[in-house]
């Protein structure tokens, strides 16, 4: 083959090797790859094809020569969620929020009250307690199947291994990385020449979903809990506001900024107040969650396949990137 063509192939091989090494490092160290596995696999296949055609151009340190050069990070065990972990419908304006309130209220004769809560910028978690002991912790995954992160969650100081009462209950909430811990972690990673996390949510996910729980322990994660499966039966509460108080009484971390509100004007005033407070918070929020306060109404309204009909997320406009 003419030299110039050989040089082109050599350059292509070098580019593919470098790209695969970067993605593998993100995956193994950060647990936050910047591309889907399928993209990695396709690029890996392209390099193995060139390696088969031009073996003389492949170095000893090639990704294709590493044992299992593909992303073979053993996955965490899977956990089925008998009650799916739903996400939330979003609205991006007060007008759209007012429409949602109107639609929701239309299903009821009595005037509904709403519980307003901060939308924590982290990753969803399920905690299963039996006789008050933490038995299992799992991520949302696709809503029906998540990952078992029990050993990791046991290292999070904010999450009690034992409740103040010996009850069986599944509670759900958000695990997050405080802003200060995020800044410190990225500074440390920068010093060590490692890739940094794009945002606290990735940092929390990457820190929680570690096979080595000692890494989770070092990362200073925290949590807020805001839901319990079948709370009326398991916790004997009738409203969302009472549920949050009951979770606090059990020894679980809950967010103190919730408020019971009636009208769109009250909700708008609450949102304006939280936007002002946002900077001072030690954790990230990306909106406000508005829930029908009466839990019996949740059963009447039900859920769609992906989201509850009894709650909505009002999303803040994206924060201005710091110049």
Ligand X SMILES: NC(=O)c1cnc(N)c2cc(Br)sc12
What are the residue numbers of the active site?
Answer: 119
Q: Contact region for ligand X (CB under 6 A) — 39-47, 74-82, 118-126, 214-222?
A: 118-126
Question: Which contiguous run of DSSP H or E holds residue 123?
Answer: strand 123-130
Relative to beta strand 145-147, strand 78-80 is antiparallel
Among 117, 147, 170, 294, binds ligand X (CB under 6 A): 117
Question: Between residues 88 and 208, which has the closer beta carbon with respect to ligand X?
Answer: 88
In the complex, least distance from residue 271 CB atom to ligand X, rounded to whole angstroms: 14
- Cα separation, 90 vs 70, whole angstroms: 37
Distance in Å from the first CA to the final CA of the chain = 51
Tokens, residue 5: 């063509």
Write the binding mask 21 to 60 for ligand X: x where contact by CB under 6 A, - elsewhere.
----------------------------------------
Q: Which residue is nearest to ligand X (CB)?
A: 117
Distances (CA, A) of 22 to 28, 33, 215: 10, 9, 21
Whose CA is closest to 170, among 257, 259, 76, 233? 233
In the complex, least distance from residue 29 CB atom to ligand X, rounded to whole angstroms: 26
The one-character DSSP state at 303 is B
In the complex, least distance from residue 87 CB atom to ligand X, rounded to whole angstroms: 5
Q: Contact region for ligand X (CB under 6 A) — 116-124, 156-164, 194-202, 213-221?
A: 116-124
In the complex, least distance from residue 143 CB atom to ligand X, rounded to whole angstroms: 10
Question: Between residues 26 and 117, which has the closer beta carbon with respect to ligand X?
Answer: 117
Among 120, 125, 222, 261, binds ligand X (CB under 6 A): 120
Tokens, residue 205: 């996910």
- Cα separation, 175 vs 120, whole angstroms: 8
Count the residues of the shown chain that bind ligand X, applying the rule CB under 6 A. Answer: 10
In the complex, least distance from residue 315 CB atom to ligand X, rounded to whole angstroms: 11
Question: Between residues 16 and 244, which has the closer beta carbon with respect to ligand X?
Answer: 244
- Cα separation, 17 vs 47, whole angstroms: 8
Told to check if 119 binds ligand X by CB under 6 A, we report yes
Distances (CA, A) of 117 to 159, 195, 306: 20, 33, 20
Among 10, 34, 66, 87, binds ligand X (CB under 6 A): 87
Is 125 buried (19+), middle (13-18) or exposed (0-12) by CB count in 10 A? buried
- Cα separation, 313 vs 323, whole angstroms: 28
Among 267, 289, 295, 312, binds ligand X (CB under 6 A): 289
Told to check if 174 binds ligand X by CB under 6 A, we report yes
Relative to beta strand 169-176, strand 78-80 is unpaired
Please list the residues that pair with 261 across neighbouring strands.
114
Question: Between residues 31 and 174, which has the closer beta carbon with respect to ligand X?
Answer: 174
Question: Between residues 19 and 138, which has the closer beta carbon with respect to ligand X?
Answer: 138
Whose CA is closest to 24, among 15, 16, 33? 33
Told to check if 170 binds ligand X by CB under 6 A, we report no
Question: Between residues 152 and 274, which has the closer beta carbon with respect to ligand X?
Answer: 274
- Cα separation, 322 vs 225, whole angstroms: 30
In the complex, least distance from residue 200 CB atom to ligand X, rounded to whole angstroms: 12
CB 240 within 8 A of CB 291: yes
Which of positions 88-107 make contact with ligand X (CB under 6 A)?
Answer: 88
Question: Between residues 129 and 224, which has the closer beta carbon with respect to ligand X?
Answer: 224
Binding site for ligand X (CB under 6 A): 86-88, 117, 119-120, 124, 174, 226, 289
């Amino acid at each position: 083959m003419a030299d110039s063509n050989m040089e082109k192939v050599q350059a292509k091989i070098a580019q593919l090797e470098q790209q695969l090494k970067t993605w593998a490092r993100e995956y193994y160290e950060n647990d936050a790859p910047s591309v889907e596995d399928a993209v990695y696999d396709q690029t890996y296949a392209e390099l193995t094809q060139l390696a088969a055609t031009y073996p003389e151009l492949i170095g000893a340190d090639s990704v294709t020569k590493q044992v299992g050069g593909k992303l073979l990070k053993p996955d965490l065990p899977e956990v089925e969620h008998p009650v799916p972990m739903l996400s939330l419908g979003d609205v991006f304006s007060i007008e759209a929020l007012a429409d949602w309130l109107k639609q929701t209220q239309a299903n009821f004769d009595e005037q509904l009250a709403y519980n307003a809560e901060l939308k924590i910028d982290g990753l969803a978690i399920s905690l299963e307690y039996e006789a008050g002991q933490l038995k299992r912790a799992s991520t949302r995954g696709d809503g029906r199947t998540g990952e078992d992160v029990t050993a990791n969650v046991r290292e999070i100081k904010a999450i009690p291994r034992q409740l103040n009462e010996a009850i069986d209950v599944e509670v759900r909430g958000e695990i997050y990385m405080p802003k200060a811990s995020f800044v410190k972690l990225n500074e440390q990673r920068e010093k060590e020449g490692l890739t940094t996390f794009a945002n606290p949510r990735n940092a929390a996910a990457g820190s929680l979903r570690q096979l080595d729980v000692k890494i989770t322990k070092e990362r200073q994660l925290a949590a807020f809990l805001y839901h319990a499966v079948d709370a009326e039966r398991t916790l004997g509460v009738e409203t969302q506001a009472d549920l949050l108080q009951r979770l606090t009484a059990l020894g679980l971390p809950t967010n103190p900024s919730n408020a019971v509100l009636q009208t769109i004007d009250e909700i708008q005033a609450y949102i304006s107040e939280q936007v002002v407070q946002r900077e001072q918070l030690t954790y990230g929020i990306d909106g406000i969650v508005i829930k029908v306060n009466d839990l019996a109404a949740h059963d009447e309204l039900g859920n769609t396949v992906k989201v509850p009909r009894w709650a909505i997320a009002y999303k803040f406009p994206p924060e201005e990137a710091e110049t």
